[in-house]
Chain A
Amino acid sequence: MALPPGVLGAATTHMSAPGSSSPATPTRRGTELALLGFVAGLVALAFVLISENQFQTLKPEVLLYVAVYAALFGLAHLAVRKLAPYADPLILPCASLLNGLSVAMLYRLDTPLAQQALQSGHGYSNAAPKQLIWTALSLAAMVVVLWGVKDHRTLSRYGYTFGLVGLVLLVLPGVLPCSISCVGGAKLWIIIGPVSIQPGEFAKVLIILFVAAFLVSKRDLFTIAGRKVFGLELPRPRDTGPLLIAWAIAILVLMIETELGASLMFFGTVLAMVYLATERSAWVWIGIVLFMGGATLAYKMFIHVQTRVTNWIDPFADAQNDGYQMVQSLFSLGSGGIAGAGLGAGHPELVPVVSSDFIVSAFGEELGFIGLTAMIVVYMMLAMRGLRSGLAVRDTFGKLLAGGLSFLLMWQMFVVIGGISKLIPETGLTAPFLSAGGSSLLASYIMVALLLRISDAARRPQASRPKPQAPIAEASTVLVERPT
Chain B
Amino acid sequence: MNKPLRRVGLTMMVMVLLLLANLTYVQVINADTYANNPANRRSVMEEYGRQRGQIVSATGTILANSVETKDAQHYLRVYKNGPEYAPVTGYYSSIFGATGIERAEDDVLNGSSSKLFVRRLSDLITGRDPRGGNVQLTVDPKTQDAAYAGMTAKNFSGAVVAIKPSTGEILAMVSTPSFDPNPLASHDNATQRDTITKLDDDPTKPALNRATQETLPPGSTFKLVVASAALANGIDDANTKNLPADPTITLPGTSTTLSNFANETCPEGTNNQVSVSIAIEYSCNTAFSTLAGKVGKDNLIQQAAKFGIGQTDLTVPVPVATSTVGSIPDEAALYQSGIGQRDVKLTPIQDAMVAATIANGGVRMQPQLVKNILAPDMSSISSFSPQEAPGGPALSKDVADQVKAMMLLSEQHTGGAGKQANVKIASKTGTAEHGTDPKNTPPHAWYVAFAPADNPQIAVCVVVENGGDRGLAATGSSVAAGVGRATINAYLAGEADDAHHRAVARRPLPAGSAHRRRRHG
- Interface set of A (CB-CB < 8 Å, partner B): 49, 52-53, 56, 112, 115-116, 118-119, 272, 275-277, 279, 319, 327, 330-331, 333-338, 346-347, 349-350, 364, 368-369, 372-373, 376-377, 380, 383-384, 387, 390-391, 396, 399-400, 403, 406-407, 410-411, 414, 417-418, 421-423
Q: Which residues, 145 to 201 on B, are CB-close (under 8 Å) to A? A: none
Most buried by B among A119, A336, A400, A423: A423
Closest beta carbon of chain B to A480's beta carbon, Å:
44
Query: Is B35 an interface residue when CB atoms closer than 8 A count as contact?
Result: yes
A-B contact pairs, 27 of them (CB 8 A): A115-B70, A119-B70, A119-B72, A279-B3, A319-B39, A331-B39, A334-B31, A334-B40, A335-B42, A337-B27, A347-B42, A349-B72, A350-B41, A369-B28, A376-B16, A376-B19, A377-B16, A391-B2, A391-B5, A399-B1, A400-B1, A407-B8, A410-B12, A410-B16, A421-B22, A423-B19, A423-B22
Closest B residue to A48 by CB, please name it.
B127
A contacts with B: majority SS? helix
B26: which A residues are within 8 A, CB to CB?
A: 330, 333-334, 421-422
Q: Within the assembled complex, what's the spacing in Å between the Cα atoms of A85 and B488?
A: 91
Q: Within the assembled complex, what's the spacing in Å between the Cα atoms of A377 and B16?
A: 8
A112: which B residues are within 8 A, CB to CB?
A: 72
Query: Is B496 an interface residue when CB atoms closer than 8 A count as contact?
Result: no
Among B24, B37, B128, the residue within 8 A (CB) of A331 is B37
Closest B residue to A49 by CB, please name it.
B127
A335 touches B70 (CB 8 A): no
Given A337-B28, A400-B1; 5 other pairs, CB 8 A cutoff: A334-B33, A335-B40, A369-B28, A384-B9, A399-B1
Known: A334-B33, A421-B23. A276 touches B72 (CB 8 A): no
B70 touches A417 (CB 8 A): no
Query: Is B441 an interface residue when CB atoms closer than 8 A count as contact?
Result: no
Closest beta carbon of chain B to A57's beta carbon, Å:
10
Among B5, B13, B35, B45, the residue within 8 A (CB) of A403 is B5
Closest 9 CB pairs of A and B: A334-B34, A369-B27, A423-B22, A331-B40, A337-B31, A414-B15, A335-B35, A410-B12, A334-B31
Query: Is B298 an interface residue when CB atoms closer than 8 A count as contact?
Result: no
Query: Is B381 an interface residue when CB atoms closer than 8 A count as contact?
Result: no
B34 touches A390 (CB 8 A): no
Closest A residue to B2 by CB, please name it.
A391
Closest B residue to A423 by CB, please name it.
B22
B41 touches A369 (CB 8 A): no
B22 touches A418 (CB 8 A): yes
Q: Within the assembled complex, what's the spacing in Å between the Cα atoms of A25 and B30?
A: 50
Closest A residue to B20 by CB, please name it.
A373
A330: which B residues are within 8 A, CB to CB?
A: 26, 34
Query: Is B129 an interface residue when CB atoms closer than 8 A count as contact?
Result: yes
B127 touches A387 (CB 8 A): no
Q: Within the assembled complex, what's the spacing in Å between the Cα atoms of A75 and B497?
A: 74
Closest A residue to B34 by CB, please name it.
A334
Among A115, A275, A331, the residue within 8 A (CB) of B42 is A331
A334 touches B32 (CB 8 A): yes
Closest beta carbon of chain B to A164's beta carbon, Å:
26
Closest beta carbon of chain B to A88's beta carbon, Å:
15
B129: which A residues are within 8 A, CB to CB?
A: 56
Known: A119-B71, A279-B3, A387-B5. A327 touches B39 (CB 8 A): yes
Most buried by B among A49, A333, A338, A364: A333
B40: which A residues are within 8 A, CB to CB?
A: 331, 334-335
A53 touches B127 (CB 8 A): yes
B15 touches A118 (CB 8 A): no
Among B23, B33, B45, B128, the residue within 8 A (CB) of A373 is B23
Among A52, A334, A383, A391, the residue within 8 A (CB) of B35 is A334
Closest B residue to A337 by CB, please name it.
B31
Known: A347-B41, A387-B8, A387-B9. A336 touches B15 (CB 8 A): no
B4 touches A334 (CB 8 A): no
B12 touches A383 (CB 8 A): yes
A350: which B residues are within 8 A, CB to CB?
A: 41-42
Known: A279-B1, A396-B1. A272 touches B35 (CB 8 A): no
A115 touches B8 (CB 8 A): no
Query: Is B506 an interface residue when CB atoms closer than 8 A count as contact?
Result: no
Q: Within the assembled complex, what's the spacing in Å between the Cα atoms of A368 and B9?
A: 26
Closest B residue to A330 by CB, please name it.
B34
Closest A residue to B30 by CB, please name it.
A334
B8: which A residues are within 8 A, CB to CB?
A: 272, 275-276, 387, 403, 406-407
- Interface set of B (CB-CB < 8 Å, partner A): 1-9, 11-13, 15-16, 18-20, 22-24, 26-28, 30-35, 37, 39-42, 45, 70-72, 127-129
Known: A364-B27, A410-B12. A115 touches B71 (CB 8 A): yes
B contacts with A: majority SS? helix
Q: Within the assembled complex, what's the spacing in Å between the Cα atoms of A36 and B28?
A: 32
Closest beta carbon of chain B to A92's beta carbon, Å:
20
Known: A421-B26, A423-B18. A338 touches B31 (CB 8 A): yes
Closest beta carbon of chain A to B126's beta carbon, Å:
8
A400: which B residues are within 8 A, CB to CB?
A: 1
B127: which A residues are within 8 A, CB to CB?
A: 49, 52-53, 56
Q: Within the assembled complex, what's the spacing in Å between the Cα atoms of A369 and B35?
A: 14
Q: Within the assembled complex, what's the spacing in Å between the Cα atoms of A382 and B176?
A: 71
B24: which A residues are within 8 A, CB to CB?
A: 369
Among B4, B18, B28, B31, the residue within 8 A (CB) of A279 is B4
Q: Within the assembled complex, what's the spacing in Å between the Cα atoms of A349 and B33?
A: 20
A376: which B residues are within 8 A, CB to CB?
A: 16, 19-20
A52: which B residues are within 8 A, CB to CB?
A: 127
B27: which A residues are within 8 A, CB to CB?
A: 333-334, 336-338, 364, 368-369, 372
Closest beta carbon of chain A to B49's beta carbon, Å:
8
A277: which B residues are within 8 A, CB to CB?
A: 1
Known: A333-B27, A390-B5. A410 touches B15 (CB 8 A): yes
A384 touches B12 (CB 8 A): yes
B34 touches A335 (CB 8 A): yes
Closest A residue to B40 by CB, please name it.
A331
A372: which B residues are within 8 A, CB to CB?
A: 23, 27
A272: which B residues are within 8 A, CB to CB?
A: 8, 11
Closest beta carbon of chain A to B311's beta carbon, Å:
43
Q: Within the assembled complex, what's the spacing in Å between the Cα atoms of A399 and B6?
A: 12
Among B6, B12, B30, B71, the residue within 8 A (CB) of A391 is B6
Closest beta carbon of chain A to B7's beta carbon, Å:
8
B12: which A residues are within 8 A, CB to CB?
A: 380, 383-384, 387, 406-407, 410
B1 touches A422 (CB 8 A): no
Q: Within the assembled complex, what's the spacing in Å between the Cα atoms of A376 and B322?
A: 61
Closest beta carbon of chain B to A372's beta carbon, Å:
6
Q: Within the assembled complex, what's the spacing in Å between the Cα atoms of A468 and B93?
A: 88
Q: Within the assembled complex, what's the spacing in Å between the Cα atoms of A65 and B31?
A: 33
Q: Within the assembled complex, what's the spacing in Å between the Cα atoms of A390 and B235?
A: 109
Q: Within the assembled complex, what's the spacing in Å between the Cα atoms of A391 and B72?
A: 51
Closest beta carbon of chain A to B254's beta carbon, Å:
65
Q: Within the assembled complex, what's the spacing in Å between the Cα atoms of A411 and B33?
A: 30
Known: A56-B128, A330-B34, A376-B16. A276 touches B9 (CB 8 A): no
Closest A residue to B6 by CB, please name it.
A391
B1 touches A276 (CB 8 A): yes
B72: which A residues are within 8 A, CB to CB?
A: 112, 115-116, 119, 349
Closest A residue to B46 by CB, please name it.
A347
Q: Within the assembled complex, what's the spacing in Å between the Cα atoms of A277 and B5?
A: 9
B35 touches A331 (CB 8 A): yes
Closest beta carbon of chain B to A339's beta carbon, Å:
10
Q: Within the assembled complex, what's the spacing in Å between the Cα atoms of A46 and B362?
A: 65
Closest beta carbon of chain A to B212's beta carbon, Å:
37
A399: which B residues are within 8 A, CB to CB?
A: 1-2, 5
A414: which B residues are within 8 A, CB to CB?
A: 15-16, 18-19
Closest beta carbon of chain B to A60's beta carbon, Å:
18
Most buried by B among A334, A417, A423: A334
Closest beta carbon of chain B to A367's beta carbon, Å:
10
B42 touches A276 (CB 8 A): no
Closest beta carbon of chain B to A388's beta carbon, Å:
8
B128: which A residues are within 8 A, CB to CB?
A: 56
